[in-house]
Amino acid sequence: MSKKIGVIIQARTGSTRLPEKVLLDLPYGSRIPVLQQVVSRCRRSKYASEIIVATTNNPSDDRIVELVKRLKVKIFRGSENDVLERYYQAAKKYRLDVVVRITADCPCVDAEIIDLVLEKHLNSGADYTSNTLERTFPHGIDVEVIEFRALEIAHYECKNPKMREHVTMYIYSNPQQFRCENVKAPAELTLPELRITLDDRRDYILLCSIYDYLYDTHSNFSWRQIIELVRQKPWLMEINKDVRQKRVFSSIKEEIIEAIRYLKLQEFTGVAEILESLADKYGK
């Protein structure tokens, strides 16, 4: 029997760095929300039979529900902070065998990559497959594919609130329990330093620039076209080069080391030196 594959897009308005970012216009002034672009691009997958937007029970996300209804895709509402719970319950409600995890702040997500990761997943028999275990693709075209049974195990076994917030962390952190596979970008298209995700105003400026260059001639422009564009116009990557990707840290020391890197980038060298003197106190 063929597996039922669904894309679940997590979306909320309560972002701390850029509130209501998934409802911003893209292209700028177009009245087309970022979330609508994400849904449109995911719909082009050859293998996914369902598109589900999983938002929160928070009343502030009623606007997301209204948009999703207009887009005529499925909706699920669940926990704001326990995103693993939200994914599990959404997948269970819609009887999915395989879940594709996409975040609503990635309006350059590409159906070609969704299908590439799905093909690797289905052919390998993996529990979890992504293009992020080893970063070769740009940030913002991330795709994770999870077997429902693996999601269910994670839901019942994971007790760490931080891991539950990040959905799949329990799975890929336990390779002895779950079979995990990674998909790499072709060598000539490897560009992990490019950020085309939306966390900050500078990210939004870059995304608006990319859409301004590509959207009018090809509304479903590809990740390959984006890479070609930034190689032709390398100044585009300067727009958000100082924005740091949100991360989950395994220790206080690891968090301090990342803070030091960021402080030095902003030329706060004095504070960075103070933190360097403290880092060794926190072990490995």
pTM: 0.86
Q: Is residue 162 part of a domain?
A: yes
For residues 185 and 262, membership in a common domain is answered with no
Q: At which of 140, 160, 189 does a domain end?
A: 189
Answer whether 243's CB lies under 8 Å from 193's CB. no
Q: Is residue 206 part of a domain?
A: no
For residues 270 and 153, membership in a common domain is answered with no
For residues 181 and 271, membership in a common domain is answered with no
For residues 21 and 159, membership in a common domain is answered with yes
Answer whether 158's CB lies under 8 Å from 170's CB. yes
User: Any idea what the CATH number is for the domain that residue 122 is in?
Assistant: 3.90.550.10
Structure tokens at 162: 């931080």
Mean pLDDT, the chain, whole residue set:
91
For residues 90 and 165, membership in a common domain is answered with yes
Q: Is residue 274 part of a domain?
A: yes
CA angle, corner 109, sides to 228 and 24, nearest 5? 105
Cα–Cα distance for residue pair 235/85, rounded to 1 Å: 41
Q: Is residue 230 part of a domain?
A: no
When pLDDT is averaged across residues 41-48 and rounded to a whole number, the result is 96
Q: Is residue 23 part of a domain?
A: yes
Domains of the chain: total: 2
For residues 277 and 154, membership in a common domain is answered with no
DSSP string, 52-114: EEEEESSGGGHHHHHHHHHHT-EEEEE-SS-HHHHHHHHHHHTT-SEEEEEETT-TT--HHHH
Cα–Cα distance for residue pair 85/82, rounded to 1 Å: 5
Q: Binning pLDDT at 50, 70 and 90, where does residue 1 land?
A: low
Question: Which residues constitute the domain of residue 131?
Answer: 5-189
Q: Binning pLDDT at 50, 70 and 90, where does residue 276 land?
A: confident
Structure tokens at 222: 């590809």
Cα–Cα distance for residue pair 193/236, rounded to 1 Å: 12
Q: What is the pLDDT of residue 265?
A: 61
